[in-house]
Amino acid sequence: MSEKSKKHIKKTDNTFDKRKKASANKTTGPYNKTNRSKPTSSKPPVKAQKESKQEGIRLNKYLANGGICSRREADTFIATGLVSINGKIITELGVRVLPGDEVKFNNERIKPEQKVYILLNKSRDYVTTLDDPEGRKTVMDLIKGACEQRVYPVGRLDRNTTGLLLLTNDGELTKKLTHPSHNKKKIYHVEIDKPISPEQLQMIKDGIELEDGLITADAISYVNNNPTEIGIELHSGRNRIVRRIMEHFELNVKRLDRVYFAGLTKLNLPRGKWRFLTEQEIIRLKTGMYE
């Protein structure tokens, strides 16, 4: 594991101790033109269409961003004449809202919903969902009263997994962070029930075959030279991936803590607490400057 990754691993109140460096028996290594259709009498030139797409936001997305409804529901509201732009009823789908436009739904002006970004250090025994039919505690209980906006968890953490979880109402960023083609760097502190050998660490780094395909760790090493505690760095977003890696070697995870996610760390964020992201952190997430 690189020195840069190690600094995110500390052991204070169920986390890695940054004052102690992982030493012997560690395995490290490198981390790992457009066809233009011809204009016709019924359609505007493609060039004009491209220019219009560079400005404004689609009306259905504007409604969704305003917290009115989903995009699909917005299309229905638009088609039934419930939405107007600058006093004109809009029934055509695909219309774009430009800066300065006044949009009304049911004769009430819509203001785009402010984007909110919350970083939570999730506690154990909380499920990553908005509401649980079984009545279990959810991560929404931990951020109750944080904001007026309706935010959603970005990805999931198991009920018994602790650590970093991002919640936001920014759908585009959520898709960017969770889509399989945009796997983001994650670092976990894992405590297991039996020692894991250096040879097994190397096997994980080289790649092991699970039921859903090959998985490799970008870096993996002992924590404080303890063979029952490891730090593992992954870019995979597969479900329960760390636990399944350990189960491959007939090892059970006693404690699993995510200490790093897409450039975000738990620094100065106690277990069960949350904070808003800084402007700099938001910019890094949106521009892809995660490392």
Residues 146 and 9 in one domain: yes
Burial of 193 (0-12, 13-18, 19+ CB in 10 A): exposed
Catalytic residues, by residue number, are: 158
Residue 291, pLDDT > 60, answer: no
- Residue closest to 176 by CA, chosen among 43, 15, 285: 285
Q: Which domain holds residue 136?
A: 3-31+116-287
Residues in the chain: 291
Residue 31, pLDDT > 70, answer: no
Q: What is the pTM of this model?
A: 0.69
Lowest mean pLDDT among 10-19, 27-36, 212-221: 27-36
Residue 214's DSSP bridge partners are 209
| φ, ψ of residue 158 in degrees (nearest 5) | -55, 160
CATH code assigned at 216: 3.30.2350.10
Buried b (16+ CB within 10 A) or exposed e, 44-57: eeeeeeeeeeeeee
DSSP assignment, residue 250?
Answer: T
Residue 26 CA to residue 265 CA, distance in Å, equals: 22
Instruction: Dihedral sign for Cα 232, 11, 195, 211, please.
Output: negative
Q: Which residue matches tokens 């028996």?
A: 25
| φ, ψ of residue 160 in degrees (nearest 5) | -95, 5
Residue 120, pLDDT > 90, answer: yes
Residues 76 and 219 in one domain: no
Instruction: Dihedral sign for Cα 206, 187, 234, 240, please.
Output: positive
Q: Average pLDDT for residues 257-278, to the nearest whole number?
A: 95
- Residue closest to 56 by CA, chosen among 88, 103, 11: 103
Last residue of a domain, one of 88, 109, 130: 109
Last residue of a domain, one of 109, 138, 163: 109
Digit-coded pLDDT (tens) for 126-167 = 999 988 999 999 999 999 999 988 899 998 999 999 999 999
Element (H, E) at 246: helix 241-248
Residues 169 and 150 in one domain: yes
Q: Which residues contact 61 (CB under 8 A, 6 or more apart)?
A: 71, 74
